[in-house]
Amino acid sequence: MKNPIKCAAQVMAMLATTCAIAQSPLQLDPSFSAPQLSSIAIGGGVFSALPLNDGTTLIGEDSTGGFPIVHKLLPSGARDPSFTGLSSGDYHLQAWQDMFYAATLHGVGRFYGDGSPDYTYGAPDSLGGMDYVGDYYLYPDGSIVLAGESYLTDTADGWVGAGWDLTWFTPSGHLDNTHTPRQGNGNMSALSRLDDGSFLISGFTPGFGQMVYDGHPVRNMFKVDSLGVVDTTFNTTMNYGLTTAFLPLSNGKTLACGFFMFDGDADTMQVVRLMPDGSLDTTFNNHLSLLYSSGNVQYTYASIYQVLPLSPDSLIIVGSFNRVDGIAHDCIALIDSTGHLRNEIFPAGSGARSYTDIDGLHQMIYRITAIPSGGYYICGAYHGYSDGANTDNSQWAMSRLYGFNVGIHEQVPERTSIRVYPDPATTEVYLSADGDRARRIEIIDILGQCVLQSPYTRNTPMNVSALASGTYTARLFDARGVPVAVGRFVKE
Residue 455 maps to which CATH number?
Answer: 2.60.40.1930
Could you tell me if 128 and 43 lie in one domain?
yes
Is 190 domain-assigned?
yes
3-class secondary-structure state, position 38? helix
Could you tell me if 114 and 244 lie in one domain?
yes
CA–CA separation, 83 vs 96, rounded Å?
Answer: 18
Is 18 domain-assigned?
no
Could you tell me if 391 and 424 lie in one domain?
no
pLDDT single digits (tens) 305-362: 999 988 778 899 999 999 999 999 999 999 999 999 998 889 999 999 998 877 778 8
Q: HSE on the CB side for 238, CA within 13 Å?
A: 35
For the chain, the domain total comes to 2
Is 5 domain-assigned?
no
Could you tell me if 396 and 436 lie in one domain?
no
Could you tell me if 325 and 385 lie in one domain?
yes
Could you tell me if 368 and 445 lie in one domain?
no
Could you tell me if 353 and 441 lie in one domain?
no
Name the domain boundary from 402, 435, 458.
402
Residues 206-222, buried b or exposed e (16+ Cβ, 10 A)? Answer: eeeeebbbbeeebbbbb
Our measurement of the distance from residue 490's CA atom to the centroid of its chain's CA atoms, rounded to an integer in Å, reads: 9
pLDDT truncated to tens, each residue of the chain (492 aa)? 333 222 222 222 222 223 233 334 588 998 898 888 877 655 578 888 998 878 889 998 876 555 568 888 999 999 898 887 766 555 688 888 888 988 876 778 888 888 888 888 886 556 766 767 788 999 989 999 999 888 888 888 888 888 889 999 999 988 898 999 999 888 888 899 988 899 999 988 876 778 899 999 999 899 999 999 999 999 999 988 889 999 998 788 999 999 989 999 988 999 999 999 999 999 999 999 999 987 666 667 799 999 998 877 889 999 999 999 999 999 999 999 999 999 888 999 999 999 887 777 889 999 999 887 778 999 999 999 999 888 999 899 999 998 654 333 333 333 455 777 787 888 888 877 766 677 788 888 776 678 888 888 776 788 888 888 878 888 888 777 667 777 778 887
| Domain residue limits at 299 | 23-402
Could you tell me if 82 and 139 lie in one domain?
yes
Name the domain boundary from 402, 436, 463.
402
Do 121 and 104 contact (CB within 8 A), yes or no? no
Could you tell me if 375 and 468 lie in one domain?
no
Could you tell me if 354 and 480 lie in one domain?
no
Residue 349 maps to which CATH number?
Answer: 2.130.10.10
∠338-339-342 over CA atoms, to 5°?
105
Residues 441-468, buried b or exposed e (16+ Cβ, 10 A)? Answer: bbbbbbbbeebbeeebeeeeebebeebb
Burial class (CB in 10 A: 0-12, 13-18, 19+), 97: middle
Could you tell me if 398 and 430 lie in one domain?
no
Q: How far apart are the first and last CA of the chain?
A: 25
Is 238 domain-assigned?
yes
Is 126 domain-assigned?
yes
Could you tell me if 385 and 434 lie in one domain?
no
